[in-house]
Structure 1
């Protein structure tokens, strides 16, 4: 891999001061009232508590470190050095512009150099970045940069296919429209044949 293809250092999310749960629940009550409903009515009394509990799960990725996910590799793989691909990894995330969901699947491939990582770890890596406020383009870059940073492959490829609720529920309301992002590094970026092989393996050729 030449110098220009070296992965960027994967930055961790900086620490911030979280509001208290009581403050977060008060903010939810304010939003309910702003939407035009009564936060004190029976059906909504427990909603602020439920929302903050759900947010802990939706955005658990802020507390996760990709280095911990990818730190263990296996070198005894019988000399295997061809493509490793995990495709159709399901994910759901939240758009940082409107805070509504987008969801779809991720395909990750790499050409081993210093060993391979457990296959479930690639799915876990997707979760690290999906469970944050995101834009799809940034998530694509974060995943491939983490693969390059921690696995040091000869090349990597990432494709994300997703439907965005901010586009299908509001605005143009384009139901079923898919957004596709992709990024290649190393051998995948340099060799069009490797790109074509990746597309064929994920069913896009």
Structure 2
């Protein structure tokens, strides 16, 4: 939080979050700010130019979400050129390339070079971080869930037991599958909201059903679901 009257204090909040009030001599220009839920916050373009390289290392999920919200780099380029931020430009271009948005990265590279800046593209994310391609235009919560899953996927895989693989005795395995079919179908279809009975499942499996008959529509729906499961 920026303020002319701040005291550079850090306020610890719930769930491992905090609020730091930073004393600044000058408040951000009006073009860099936007209002969200009653708060004045940095716009995405201004925020990406302002944050340091540590932000991408310490908050990779948030960084991916911010990069995914950018439609075009005109707003970012204006701020980069205005301040002569060649190092920041290299960082943002590298970040866009890391998340699969090569077109935006190339736009920054070409524009900065054509303006005569000594420009070096750099990837601000850690090599060990699982950074996936961002979902352009997706809701922030969707991008967050996808980024969190990608960052934790390998950790989850490491603790899961190894798959048993294809059984050697295939005939015995298929008999086992057939033996539990009725119970498995009943529970699975019930969880999906269908009204099925073990008798219906067994009848459909044997082919004793008529989707064009005179049964009520809901019963047809349930029978079709059971047939689809079979």
What TM-score do you get using the length of structure 1 for normalisation?
0.22
Bigger proportion of residues as helix = 2
What TM-score do you get using the length of structure 2 for normalisation?
0.20
The structure having more radius of gyration, on CA atoms, is 2
Greater RCO structure (CA 8 Å; 6+ sep)? 1
